[in-house]
Structure 1
Amino acid sequence: MKYRVRHITEYTYGAPVSLCYNMAHLLPRDTKNQQCTNHKIQINPPPVYQNDGEDYFGNQTFYFSIQEAHKKMVVDVTTDFYITPLNVLELPTQSTITCGELRSLLEEPNTPELRMAKEYLLDSPQIRHSEELKAYAESTFVDNKPVLQAALTFTHKIFTEFKFDPHTTTVATPLEQVLEQRSGVCQDFAHLAIGCLRSVGIPARYMSGYLETLPPPGQEKLVGADASHAWFAIFVPELGWIEFDPTNDLMPSDQHIVTAWGRDYSDVTPLQGVIFEGGGSQQLAVSVDVKRI
């Protein structure tokens, strides 16, 4: 299936900005079932410098700087790509490794993949180990339970016990508060799941991207469509990284478009940078359109 994503970011400043430097994670990356064919980047005012790159995690990035006074900045990115559906229903039957066995393998990792996965057990800027997170997850990730089955159960647990509410959290809300109030948005649910998994010794990483705007015939529209979306993935030996979406209680197949992955949101912020001489108050507007073409 061929898709097109258009992501428009618009900043309006209270006072003219004379100079800015920016880095963007707005180009969907190639994965085992996703292949980008072309992209177009339009920036206004036109940058004096622009260059594509790749970050530590292998995500596609682009850098740019604007060196003329401006009260509005618009970054308009359009990407075309193909997605091949994954048969995710078969994945839980393809691995019987238990949570206890995975934790034992990670104690003495004997492959490059296991050694790299251990990085996703460590604390990161927005996700910290805690006893509260461990207590919420440890009854699900018991030693004798297959790790994929446990992850499915935990995904359903978050979906049923938490309410999607964009008014109860911000990007800086602590996970313990999200856990206590049982509400938040997709980013909170992904961070919560990752924090819980790491606290019980299971490697987990943050997935950032989009959901298809229009659902398949007969299905309801997924929460998070028409906006950036977040979910998580866990590492399973022999299978690699397997994804789960606690906001929608499913394993992503062909409606999730991966832009980037990292330890948490701070590694894959869609657009970040610094401004000089101006700015003051600022307003952000984001428009996302995902469609089949």
Structure 2
Amino acid sequence: MRYRVRHITEYTYGAPVSLCYNMAHLLPRDTGNQFCLNQKIQINPPPVYKTEGVDYFGNQTFYFSIQEAHKKLVIDVSTDFDITPLNFREQDINNAITCGELRRLLATPNTPELRMAKEYLLDSPQINRSAELKEYAESTFSNESSVLKAALAFTHKIFTEFKFDPNTTTVATPLEQVLKQRSGVCQDFAHLAIGCLRSVGIPARYMSGYLETLPPPGQEKLVGADASHAWFAVFTPEFGWVEFDPTNDIMPSEQHIVTAWGRDYSDVTPLQGVIFEGGGSQQLAVSVDVRRT
């Protein structure tokens, strides 16, 4: 399947900004089943300096600076993809390495992949392991359970026990509060799953990207109605990193488009930077359009 993604980010400032430096994670990466065919990024006002790079996690980065006074910043990114569906067989899920065996391998890692996976057992800027998170997850990830089967069951657990509500959390909401109130958005559910998995000794990482949404039958899809999305991935030696989406209770396949991954949201923030001499109040508008081509 081929897709075209257009992501428009627009900042409007209350006072003119004279200078800004920015780094963007808006250029999706290649993966085992996702291939970027071409991409185009337009910035207004035009930057005096821009360069592409790769961060510690292998994500595509785009650095730019604007050195003229402006009250509006627009970043327009268009990318074409070719995506091959990922289909895990039930026997693969049921017969994957057990949680107990994975923990034993991670205790004395003897391959580069296992040693790198251990990084995703540690606390990160927005995710801290805790006794509360461990208690919520440990019955699902028993030593005898298949890692993938347990992760799939835990994905369903979050989906059924939590309510999607964008009005109950912010980027800074602690996981313990999300767990207590049983509500949040896709970022909260991904962070919660990762925190729980790390708390029971299973490596997990944060996935950032897009999800194609389809309109109800007979209705036309609205331009810009899609959205950025977040989910998580679990490591196993035989399959590598396997993805799960607790917001939708599925294992991502061809409708999930990966932009970047890291320890948590702070590693893959779509746009971050600094502004000088101005800004004041600011308004953010984001439009995402995912189209099959």
Query: Are residues 263 and 216 of structure 1, via their aligned partners in 2, closer, same or farther at CA, if it must alter by over 3 Å?
Result: farther
Instruction: Give the equivalent residue in structure 2 for 1:201.
Output: 201
Residue 88 of structure 1: SS of its match in structure 2? coil
Residue 237 (structure 1) aligned with residue 240 (structure 2): no
Asked if 2 retains the 8 angstrom alpha-carbon contact of 1:162 and 1:183, the reply is yes
AA at the equivalent of 1:182: R
Amino acid of the structure 2 residue aligned with 1:114: L
Contact 1:88 1:252 in 2 (8 A): no
Residue 217 of structure 1 and its aligned partner are, at CA, apart by 7.3
Cα offset, 1:90, TM superposition:
4.3
C-alpha distance after superposition, 1:110-137 (max 9, x if no partner): 0000000000000000000111100000
* Cα distance in structure 2, aligned partners of 1:91 and 1:155: 18
TM-score by length of 1: 0.96
Alpha-carbon distance in structure 2 between the residues aligned to 1:33 and 1:175: 31
Amino acid of the structure 2 residue aligned with 1:156: H
Q: Is the 8 A contact 1:213 1:289 kept in 2?
A: no
**8 Å Cα contact 1:25-1:270 kept in structure 2:** yes
Check 1:217–1:29 CA distance in 2 against 1; reply closer, same or farther (3 A cut). farther
1:1-293 alignment, distance < 5 Å = 1-90=1-90, 92-93=92-93, 95-214=95-214, 226-293=226-293
- Note closer, same or farther for the CA distance 1:215–1:155 as it changes in structure 2 (3 Å cut): farther
Q: TM-score, normalised by structure 2?
A: 0.96
2:35 and 2:83 in contact (8 A); partners too: yes
Residue type of the alignment partner of 1:37: L
Amino acid at match of 1:275: I
SS where residue 77 of structure 2 aligns? Answer: strand
Identity %: 84
> C-alpha displacement at 1:232, in angstroms?
0.1
The number of residue pairs the alignment matches comes to: 288
Distance in 1 (CA, whole Å) between partners of 2:80 and 2:65 is: 25
For 1:22 and 1:117, how far apart are their aligned partners in 2?
30
The letter for the 2-side match of 1:122 is L
Distance in 2 of aligned mates of 1:115 and 1:216: 46
8 Å CA contact retained: 2:94, 2:149: no
SS of equivalent residue, structure 1 residue 275: strand
> Which sits farther off after the overlay, 83-92 or 22-31?
83-92
Cα RMSD (Å) of the superposition? Answer: 1.6
Which shows bigger deviation, 79-88 or 241-250?
A: 79-88
Say if 1:216 and 1:234 are closer, same or farther in 2 by CA, change over 3 A: farther
Secondary structure of 2:42's counterpart equals strand
Partner secondary structure for residue 282 of structure 2: strand
CA distance in 1, matches of 2:217, 2:150: 30
Give, in angstroms, the shift of residue 87 of structure 1: 1.2
Secondary structure of 1:288's match?
Answer: strand
- Cα shift at 1:92: 3.4
Structure 2's unaligned 5+ residue stretches are: none
Is the CA contact 1:213–1:291 (under 8 Å) kept in the aligned structure 2? no
Gaps of 5+ in 1: none
Runs of 4+ in 1 over 2 A off after TM superposition: 88-96, 213-218
Task: For 1:22 and 1:49, locate their aligned partners in 2 and report how far apart those are by CA, in whole Å.
Answer: 10
CA distance in 2, matches of 1:87, 1:186: 22
